A and B are shown apart, each in its own frame.
Chain A
């Protein structure tokens, strides 16, 4: 079954304690991205990656890091989480490539993060 998986699904942590949210897709997609979703603000892109070792900032990258060492995995790293990073996070992948407009995005189930 084609899918995007994320772990953990729920996480409660404290300010400053480094954490990683994993994301994996089995569709051989080159494009992957991370979003956060907040009430009243909708989905906002944090980082995206067009291929292995290629990552770039989205709209709200401050306080986050990503890596793309393998095609299927795209972890989101919070080096020093703060309460304003409490949110619902989604990983997504697509078959997008420049010049080819087939960028339907497949989303993971979400990770609800609370930073105390």
Chain B
């Protein structure tokens, strides 16, 4: 079955540094991958989608890479700010075709210290 792994340990970095979060997946070749942000007690919010034929995608201070050979996506936040502190989830479409279902990783919590 498909499996998504994100670092369960929280990532603590200093303000201004670049945060890099990892999403690994197995037993699967997804057509795309998504990243969401979730604040405590609130619903996830979509950030970026990257397709299998895209190596990299950017949105303001965010950058996502997608290596289909390594089966890995990296999520970067440059010039990080305390307001970036949150849990970040990666999500892949389910193996079950035509269900619209997304499989979510458990998320990595980022803490940006001033």
Chain A contacts to B: CB under 8 angstroms: 4, 31, 33, 40-43, 45, 48, 50, 56, 58, 88, 90, 92, 94, 96-99, 101, 103-110, 112
Question: Which chain B residue shows the least CB distance to A94?
Answer: B100
Question: Which chain B residue shows the least CB distance to A109?
Answer: B43
Does any Cβ of A come within 8 Å of B17's Cβ?
A: no
Q: Are A88 and B102 within 8 A (Cβ)?
A: no
Interface-lining segment among B61-69, B75-83, B103-111: B103-111
Chain B contacts to A: CB under 8 angstroms: 31-32, 34, 41-46, 49, 51, 89, 91, 93, 98-102, 104-107
Q: Are B104 and A42 within 8 A (Cβ)?
A: yes
Contact of A112 among B41, B46, B101, B104 (CB under 8 A): B41
Q: Are B49 and A107 within 8 A (Cβ)?
A: no
Known: A42-B105, A43-B89, A101-B32. A96 touches B43 (CB 8 A): no
Beyond the given A105-B91, A107-B44, could you list 19 further A-B residue pairs with CB under 8 A, ordered by the A residue number?
A33-B101, A42-B105, A43-B44, A43-B89, A45-B101, A45-B102, A48-B101, A50-B100, A58-B101, A97-B100, A101-B93, A103-B102, A104-B34, A104-B46, A105-B46, A109-B43, A110-B42, A110-B43, A112-B41
| Chain A residues closer than 8 Å to B98, beta-carbon distance | 98-99
Question: Which chain B residue shows the least CB distance to A43?
Answer: B104
A-B contact pairs, 23 of them (CB 8 A): A42-B104, A42-B107, A43-B44, A45-B101, A45-B102, A58-B101, A88-B41, A90-B43, A99-B98, A101-B51, A103-B100, A104-B34, A104-B46, A104-B49, A105-B44, A105-B102, A107-B44, A107-B45, A108-B43, A109-B43, A110-B41, A110-B42, A112-B41
Known: A103-B93, A104-B34. A48 touches B100 (CB 8 A): yes
Main secondary structure of the interface of A (DSSP, over half): strand
Tell me how far the C-beta of A79 lies from the nearest C-beta in chain B, rounded to whole angstroms.
Answer: 24
| Chain B residues closer than 8 Å to A40, beta-carbon distance | 106
Tell me how far the C-beta of B46 lies from the nearest C-beta in chain A, rounded to whole angstroms.
Answer: 5
Complex Cα gap A98–B93 (Å): 12
The 3 closest A-B pairs by CB, nearest first: A107-B43, A96-B100, A98-B98
Tell me how far the C-beta of A20 lies from the nearest C-beta in chain B, rounded to whole angstroms.
Answer: 19
